[in-house]
Structure 1
Amino acid sequence: MSPPPPPFGRSRKRASQAFDAALDDAELIDVRAALAQGRWQAVRALLARTGDEWDRRGHRVTVLAAEPYSEAWARDWLVAEPDSADAAVLLALALVQRVRRGKGKPAAAREACRTAARLAPADPTPWLGLLLLERDLGAADEVADVFGEIRQRYADHHHAHHLMVARLAERRAETGPDPLHEVYDFANWAAEQAPADSPLAILPVIAHAERYRALAAAGHEPHDPAASAHWTGRRARQVMKAAFDWWLEWEQEGHPRRLVDLNFLAHAKVCEGRGAEAAALFHRIGERPTPAPWSYPDREPYSAFRTAREHALGTV
């Protein structure tokens, strides 16, 4: 009998399923299809129902804005309702996504985000758009200022904290591993500041994965994460145990981005060699992987996910 494939070996199956940024939000999936047909009224109704659930609002607007037709329909919406904050934020994030695809003008996207922020002063979503933009383009002080604006409006903003961790993890990657790197301090601070049931408790795992990505890209870690000591040291064991224990006690089934956390946690458990714990997480994930962190540092993510999942489920 041949041995099971390694956790991140090349899968025998080619990717047969596209990743869906909507995750498991069925309402969002339906409204996205309506917007593709120009029915922006469905977006208006969805965002009105979402209200001030800021993580859910940020998730929904970001996903809708990523579609190439969103900018045009958001402009039509603004013609019909010039004072609509929802239309303004959809346009703003659509322009941000256009810049991220290498096609738009950063100055226009920044101005659109600030216009949306003026129309909805309590909403962190326009600032999330700015953070998405400045995460790649902005100076450290600018990024920190935008993140501060988000935290003033909603201190536990899930997506914003993930963006900050990804940005911080890349600092000084060329100098090699550093157990005292600032990304760990930031992640621990955010987890400690958050309520006990907040999914930000898993942020130290996100930081560890993002730091691996940065170090591997700089040539300081092997490109096979399961072969990297990064995942088996004392810090890694502490981080993973604390996060898994939190998940067992507090699993947030209703959080709009919970599948992001589940994928990061499953990836960490696979890298750690904890197949039974990884299997429990894969059962929750089902067929809803996220590209990160399975793509880290330069892998075909769906194949990596399927191979790791099959290996973990075969251990129980």
Structure 2
Amino acid sequence: MPLFSSRTSRRPRIAPALDDEGLARVLGRLGKRGGSGRAPDVALVSAALEEAGHDWDRRGHRASVLAEATADTGLSAAWLGREPQNADALLFHSWTALARGLRDGRLEDAGQVVEQCHRAAELRPEDPLPWVVLLGVARVERFTQNDVNAVWREATGRDRWHREAYLQMLAYLSPEEGGSSAAVLDFVDVVRTRIPANAPCAAVEVTAAVRQYQGLLATGGVRAMTAGQLWDGGQVAAALDQAATLWAKPGFFQHAAAQADLNVLAYALCAAGRAADAHHVFQALQGVVTPWPWNVDGPALQRFEQHQAKAERGRQGGLGGA
């Protein structure tokens, strides 16, 4: 599927499927019927995951989006009830439980989710996704670091650069979820030089910087007033420079959530006072908006449009200031 067309930008809209047209069609059909547990809906989700085959990146994107879209319906339970020994049914049921758990701050039955992930892993040993879900469970249940490291090795041993695995680990280590800023920095330092520039997880360092920046703003006071200094020098500035140069180039990124990472980059460039540099990133996005990171200080679409307009003015005037 084409990534980052050069067509004129379209009106900003929230698009959970991003540029996955097949997934967008499934979401549209589920939305019309309310995502029930009826056989046709189960078949839609099953086919979407099966179609991705061993493209673990694409499978992970589809599973994550569909799990969030149907988390409050009976679809995953109906599927598992029909096919209790189906690896995809087990995976999807556990992922929908995780989606609810991350939203609500607790899992209804953590033991069941863990058991289902292990059973799915037994049925399809090569699949990293059950282990990725377990990384998410570790966030909610606050697994010990040793236990998390063991799950991490299982996930990345099957798909070394799996984007969702890196994001789940980053969140687990974050101070907002019981970790620390030092733990995040250590993680980023370890992976920084190993990750290929166009890997699915390439945005982990910029994502960590955006989370840190937003955390500083949330504290208020002097720390909030000086939050912009985060972008001024050192490794963070170098990472942002590289991303601004490479990520929006046609064909550079091929992973399923590339447009989500470009949203993070556009936000970071605007936060760093480099609105003009963000212009080509907004162009590449073609109006596809992800709720985070834009929604921390207002409606995501509104904030996206405001920054997009500022980027356009900055380009026309040759100004990159905030």
TM-score tier by shorter-chain length is 0.7 to 0.9
The equivalent of 2:213 in structure 1 is 212
User: Which digits, 9 at most, give the CA deviation of each residue in 1:150-181, with x for residues without a partner?
Assistant: 11111101111122223323279999xx7xx3
Deviation at 1:248, TM superposition (A): 5.6
1:105 maps to 109
Offset, 1:221:
6.3
- Separation (CA, whole Å) in 2 of partners of 1:234 and 1:79: 53
Q: Is the 8 A contact 2:210 2:264 kept in 1?
A: yes
Question: 1:315 is paired with a residue of what secondary structure?
Answer: helix
The more displaced of 258-267 and 115-124 is 115-124
* Alignment correspondent of 1:84: 86
Structure 1 residues 113, 153: closer, same or farther in 2, change over 3 A? Answer: same
In the TM superposition, 1:141-290 aligns within 5 A as 141=145, 142-170=147-175, 181-219=182-220, 228-247=228-247, 251-290=251-290
1:305 matched to which residue of 2?
A: 304
Q: Cα deviations across residues 191-233 of structure 1 (Å, max 9, x unaligned)?
A: 42233531433322112112223333344765579x6222223
Name the counterpart of 1:32. Answer: 27
CA distance in 1, matches of 2:59, 2:177: 34
Provide, for residues 289-314 of structure 1, a one-character-per-residue CA deviation record: whole Å limited to 9, x for no partner: 11222234x44333222211111112
Q: Name 1:129's counterpart in structure 2.
A: 133
The 1:235/1:254 distance shift into structure 2, 3 A limit, reads closer
Cα deviation digits, residues 28-51 of structure 1 (max 9, x gap): 122234442532112222222201
Contact 1:31 1:46 in 2 (8 A): yes
**Contact persistence 1:295–1:301 (CA under 8 A):** yes
**In structure 2, how many angstroms separate the alpha carbons of the residues matched to 1:33 and 1:70?**
17
C-alpha displacement of 1:144: 2.7
Q: CA distance change for structure 1 residues 222 and 24 in 2, over 3 Å: closer, same or farther?
A: farther
- Deviates most, 96-105 or 236-245: 96-105
Q: Higher mean Cα deviation, 23-32 or 140-149?
A: 140-149
Q: Deviations over 1:1-22 (max 9, x none)?
A: xxxxxxxxxxxxxxx9773332
Structure 1 residue 69 displacement after superposition: 5.9
For residues 99 and 186 of structure 1, the distance between their equivalents in structure 2, rounded to whole angstroms, comes to 24
* Cα displacement string for residues 110-132 of structure 1 (whole angstroms, at most 9, x for unaligned residues): 22222222222211111222222
- Over the aligned positions, Cα root-mean-square deviation in angstroms equals 3.0
- Structure-2 residue corresponding to 1:51: 53
The gaps in structure 1 that reach 5 residues or longer are 1-15
Q: Which amino acid aligns with 1:192?
A: T
> Which stretch shifts more, 278-287 or 236-245?
236-245
**Aligned pair 1:23/2:22, yes or no?**
no
1:203 and 1:99 mapped to 2: Cα distance?
23
Q: Equivalent residue of 1:88, what SS? A: helix
Identity of matched residues, %: 30
Q: Which runs of 5+ in 2 are unaligned?
A: 1-10, 316-322
Write out per-residue CA displacement over residues 54-88 of structure 1, whole angstroms, 9 at most, x where no aligned residue. 11111111111113467623333334333321111
| Letter in structure 2 aligned against 1:206 | T
Paired residues of 2:57 and 2:162 also in contact (CA < 8 A): yes
| Gap change, CA 1:241 and 1:310, over 3 Å in 2 | same
Do the aligned residues in 2 keep the contact of 1:240 with 1:269 (CA within 8 Å)? Answer: yes
- Of stretches 265-274 and 216-225 in structure 1, the one that deviates more from structure 2 is 216-225
> What residue identity is the alignment partner of 1:267?
Y
Contact 2:128 2:158 in 1 (8 A): yes
TM-score (normalised: structure 2): 0.80
Displacement, 1:89? 0.9
Shift of 1:253: 4.6
SS in 2 for 1:200: coil
- Letter of the 1:184 partner, please give it: L
Task: Give the aligned partner of residue 8 of structure 1.
Answer: none
C-alpha separation in 1, matches of 2:286 and 2:303: 15
CA contact (8 A) 1:99 1:109 kept: no
Q: 1:90 to 1:202 in 2, by over 3 A?
A: closer
Q: CA deviation at 1:189?
A: 3.0
Deviations 1:250-300 (A, max 9, x none): 85453211012101111111122222220000111122111222234x443
Counterparts of 1:172 and 1:134 in 2: how far apart (Å)? 11
